[in-house]
Amino acid sequence: MRAQITSFSSIAILSLLLPSLAGAVTLFDTLAIFSTLFNGVIGLFIVLAIVVFFWGLIKYIFNREGGEKEGAEGAQLMIWGILAIFVMVSIWGIIGLLRSTFRVTDNAAIVPAGIGVGGIGLPGGSGGGVQVGVQFAVPIK
């Protein structure tokens, strides 16, 4: 059974990665795909934690008169649901705080002012050097 689950998981992962292996996809495109999938999974887990909380609430309300065991089981589910929601939203908030602290809002590179692409002192020049904010005036005769 375990080998069957492993083989199905491997086939699923390879089928997700096959387009990136077949095409000329860069590493950033592959990471963007995994980021999109990861964000969807996070949302799914938060919804699952909310469902667990409400399922525990329903069990607690309807089994309250049946005895302490049934009511305690519902209360335990509510506690685990609240704990899961708290942990996931807290991690989400910490990541948001770090993104705003370090000003990581998109995938663009942070380039200090006065530095551009090109040769030294030659706007748009070749050579792959660093362009500083110095310009030269050459008289033409």
- Domain extents in the chain: 2-110, 114-141
- CA pair distance 98, 91, nearest whole angstrom: 11
| Helix orientation angle between 27-62 and 2-22, rounded to the nearest 10 degrees | 140
pLDDT for res 79: 94
The verdict on pTM exceeding 0.85 is no
pLDDT for res 84: 92
Residue 109 CA, chain-centre distance (Å), reads: 18
The set of residues, in sequence order, having a beta carbon less than 8 Å from that of 111 and lying 6+ positions away, is none
pLDDT for res 128: 47
pLDDT for res 52: 93
The list of the chain residues with pLDDT below 50 reads 119, 121-122, 125, 127-132
| Helix orientation angle between 68-101 and 27-62, rounded to the nearest 10 degrees | 150
- CA pair distance 90, 49, nearest whole angstrom: 14
